[in-house]
Amino acid sequence: MTQMTALAALRRLGAAGGILYGVICAWSGTTIPSLNLWFVSEYLRNYFEGLFSRDRSEGLLGFWRAAVLRGVTLRRVLRLEIDHQRNIRAAGGPAAVAEDPTRLWRLGLLHVASARQAARAAKKAAAAMSAETGPVLKDVVLVGGGHSHAHILLMMGMEPIPNVRVTLITRDMETPYSGMLPGHIAGHYTKQECHIDLARLGRFARCRVVHAEVIGIDTVSQRVHVRSCLDDEGGRERPSLRYDVISVDVGCSPSTVGGLSGYDLQSSGGALGQHVATVKPIDGFSAKFERLVAGIAGWQEPHDILVVGAGAGGVELVLAIQHRLWTTLERMGKPRDWARLAIVSRSARIMPGHSRSVSNLMRKVVDERGIVVHTALAAQKVVKASDGKKEMLVCVTPFPANDECRLPFDECIWCTDGAPQAWMRDLDLEKDAGGFLLVETSLQARKKGGDVLPNFFAAGDCCSIRDHPRPKAGVFAVMAGMPLSKNIRAALEGRPMVEYLPQKEFLGIIGLGSRSAVASKADVALQADWLWDLKEWIDRAWMWKYTEGLPRMSSSASGPSDVAKVAGSEALQLLAKASMRCGGCGSKVGSSVLTGAIQRLQVEQPVHRNPEVLLGLDAPDDAAVVKQKGSTGVTVHTVDFFKSIVGDPYVFGRIAALHALSDCFAMGAQAQTALALCTISLGSDEVMSEDLFQIMAGANRELVAAGCTLAGGHTTEGPEPGFGLCVTGVADDLDMLMKKGGLKPGDALILTKPLGTGCLFAGEMQQRARGQHVSAALRSMLRSNEPAAQIARLQGSRTCTDVTGFGLAGHLLEMCKASEGIAVSLWLDQVPVLDGAEALVTEGIMSSLQPANFRSRRGIANEEAVAAAFAAGSLPRYPLLFDPQTNGGLLFAVSGGQQAASALVAALAKAGEDSWHIGVVSARPSSWEDGRFLTIKASALSA
């Protein structure tokens, strides 16, 4: 029935038709004529098409029940679309929304957050940005970054709880929104559009983010056992974390391992075939599917793709996969029927968890798309075909027939019921028949055969609610977020819990691969193209709240004082950035401040002269060197300290220790002993003791690896954590050490780590850096410089420094000043940078130390030309030469030109160390002004 035939039918009814038209118009909730007309026609079309096409076996009573239910459901669905159209009009109309879709998402949705919630959040958002919570008394630990925990983080950012610290432990830095994943597979959304960046959300919530995988929880000692996700060796257990209140929202794992969820999946080799993929974890499946799409270019014949699991997720997935493969094949000029898809259902019909009307409609769609449906088959194992070309899925029919059939495939994708995470099996808590945590309506867990644990919560797919079983669907995790947030607050504040009773029926909108969808609720199902637009509106509006819709971090809560206004523009700039100062090496003072103070000290208060100090303030190097009495040996002394650059105290301790040891490594000395300096924020004794332990444990791990003994230290309270080490090292004699000076014409310059930690962590503070880029930067900072230093010494290098607070340009200028008669050509295209760093500096996001470091541009001979090229957009990496690095790489000089450089790079690569040949040393032109040493070139081929 079209819009015109629906209206024509009303006209034939005369006055009754007019009354019916008026009643339906009133249901629309709008007085806009065009929307009224659309509402009436769509209501009638979907009402009668669905009602008279349904199964009539339920008799007259069932018919009238379905008639009423369909009428109510249709009204709700169409009212959502009316709200959608109203928002489009309010945002400036379809053309304005097409130009800037965020205009629509910023308007929000009444069914996503009530007007009361929205008003409350808006009222408190500004105040929360500058909230001072005082000393930490309680630790809340969130395990997993699921939908419920995303809501908790959002609420914690808007309404922080005084004296409470939140820690998120997550294996994945980006968590997918389940409602948009099929659209991502179909090619409608990018990965970034359908993933929540937990690093950004955590920064908004003032939450410590620990990038680790949970391997167990001890509910007696209240500790979480974790394995690091930042180690290249694939994960190493680290110290456990304490909690006062804990919540678990980790989803579920694939049910294709160990015969869980009724499947006895075992291939002949005891493992899944190489062409079998599970939908979870999502990141692994997404990467494998993208490889499948990329491989289409090499297809020379049809390919069979098999999806195991015919629930709503499996059916939506197979339609999305088909759409993506078809569009890709057509773009490449290949027949789209080369993508042959089939779906395997253990039930007698697809989507058995939905009503028969929904199942029948989806079966009709699947049949129309040419997807083969295998019903009443239980998958057993994967074996190789007899010809060895394809793999085979071995299935059996249900008891008693138990007949076996084999389905050939090129790719097999498992989208079956999930299973609990392996580590949850060892929890001494009550579980349901499937092994999932069994929680009360307060979302609190219960000891096995005992009482409710008042401080242990769970939500999402990893748990089931006692007496209220529901399917594992993202909608329930989303809806549980609000009561979970309230009950965690209640547990901390000693208030009663609220009940969460999950709804029995919910509106589901299932994508059909193309930009069309089916809406279902209870026994009602309808299909329309506009339903996809409605689904996209709902999904994108929800995602907006947790991504681009987060309030930006403010650098100042109030305006400048009268003193600042009188002090001038530089003082105003300093004040504006005072609350957004960087940590790590970005928190150090600038070179000009340091140099000026030391020079004045040497004039006004000269230091004591000691002939045994071979390298000190008179000839500054990476460390001071003192002659050992009675031998040719020397002792190396260095000290480093800075405030925390990362919320995870254990990782901070590791980075700070590696950074302090790096001065010893850069000189080629063996670190021997270390004294610790640690600042801890005020909190309860338990909190402060835990923080101190975590920092010291991280530092000691790196000291032990370097053969350096922690011999003592000093602690103090402070407004924020800080850590450093006084390191003592030894060497056989002074000549054995690598030093900053000694560059000679013809030397090649080698750098061992990419640049960008300063701007990336400045971006992290401002919620602008992506979590995966921050994690990559942390992995770089957690790499010790010791192996590279040892290899460089063996290859003949005697000139070296580590690139830290003053940036590559600043430290290279130090090397030039410590050498005689030389100049350096730096090849900008060969200078490595961390992912995301270039984009941030292009946006103007840089470390708070960057302006001080930028003063070293005076040492660049062609600085004006380089600055002009950067302004024109041709040298985007230029600002990164001044970016302060925390535990940055080593900068070596090796004599022998290109051949020696290639040999050193090859030797480092053989040991698993990255390195880049970034420049060359030459004789200094006599025409250059004093203090000019560097020439910046776009590449080695530049004139």
Residue 702 shares a structural domain with residue 762: no
Helix axes 312-331, 356-368, angle to 10 degrees: 20
Instruction: Yes or no: say if 785 and 889 are a contact pair by the CB < 8 Å rule.
Output: yes
Residue 722 shares a structural domain with residue 760: no
Per-residue pLDDT at 618: 78
Read off the CATH number of the domain in which 149 is found. 3.50.50.60
Residue 732 shares a structural domain with residue 747: no
Residue 245 shares a structural domain with residue 273: no
Q: Nearest CA to 112 among 156, 154, 145?
A: 154
Cα angle at 356 between 352 and 359, to 5 degrees? 65
Centre a 10 Å sphere on the Cβ of residue 631 and count the other Cβ atoms it contains: 9
Q: What is the DSSP letter of 230?
A: S
Residue 244 shares a structural domain with residue 265: no
Residues 6+ apart with CB under 8 A from 652: 644, 645, 646, 695, 698, 721, 723
Residue 242 shares a structural domain with residue 274: no
Q: What is the DSSP letter of 608?
A: P
Long-range contacts of 446-455 (CB under 8 A, 24+ apart): 447/219, 453/219, 453/429, 454/491, 455/222, 455/243, 455/244, 455/245, 455/246, 455/491
The one-letter amino acid at 830:
Q
Per-residue pLDDT at 265: 39
The one-letter amino acid at 637:
H
491 belongs to a structural domain: yes
871 belongs to a structural domain: yes
528 belongs to a structural domain: no
Last residue of a domain, one of 414, 430, 463: 414
Q: Please give the tally of structural domains in the chain.
A: 5
Residue 796 shares a structural domain with residue 934: yes
Distance between CA atoms of residues 208 and 837, nearest Å: 22
Read off the CATH number of the domain in which 661 is found. 3.30.1330.10
Instruction: Yes or no: say if 749 and 892 are a contact pair by the CB < 8 Å rule.
Output: yes
Residue 394 shares a structural domain with residue 429: no
Per-residue pLDDT at 112: 38
Residue 56 shares a structural domain with residue 200: no
Q: Nearest CA to 921 among 856, 827, 829?
A: 827
Q: Nearest CA to 265 among 248, 283, 277?
A: 277
Distance between CA atoms of residues 625 and 618, nearest Å: 12
Mean pLDDT by 10 residues, the chain (943 residues): 52 53 56 54 56 53 57 63 69 72 57 47 48 81 96 92 95 92 94 94 95 96 96 76 97 59 36 72 81 93 94 94 96 95 93 88 95 91 78 82 85 87 93 95 94 96 92 87 96 96 85 92 84 89 88 56 56 55 69 79 84 84 89 93 94 97 96 97 95 98 97 94 96 92 95 97 92 95 97 93 94 93 94 96 89 89 91 91 95 93 96 96 88 88 62
157 belongs to a structural domain: yes
Read off the CATH number of the domain in which 886 is found. 3.90.650.10
What are the structure tokens assigned to 58, written together?
């339920």
Distance between CA atoms of residues 453 and 444, nearest Å: 6
Distance between CA atoms of residues 689 and 565, nearest Å: 43
What are the structure tokens assigned to 911, written together?
């040991």
Per-residue pLDDT at 28: 54
Residue 466 shares a structural domain with residue 434: yes
Report whether the peptide linkage leading into residue 281 is cis, meaning its omega lies within 30 degrees of zero: yes
Just list the catalytic residues.
585
What are the structure tokens assigned to 483, written together?
């009561």
556 belongs to a structural domain: no
First and final CA of the chain: distance in angstroms?
73
Per-residue pLDDT at 260: 33
Sheet holding 634-643, edge to edge: 613-615, 624-627, 634-643, 722-731, 670-681, 709-718
Burial label for 399, CB within 10 Å (0-12, 13-18, 19+), is exposed
Per-residue pLDDT at 522: 77
Q: Nearest CA to 723 among 805, 637, 641, 639?
A: 641
920 belongs to a structural domain: yes
Last residue of a domain, one of 504, 535, 569: 504
Distance between CA atoms of residues 49 and 174, nearest Å: 42
519 belongs to a structural domain: no
Long-range contacts of 178-182 (CB under 8 A, 24+ apart): 178/147, 178/473, 178/474, 179/474, 179/535, 179/538, 179/539, 179/542, 180/539, 180/543, 181/282, 182/316, 182/317, 182/319, 182/320, 182/511, 182/513
557 belongs to a structural domain: no
Last residue of a domain, one of 399, 414, 429: 414
Residue 437 shares a structural domain with residue 294: no
Residue 248 shares a structural domain with residue 265: no
Structural domain including 22 reads: 3-102
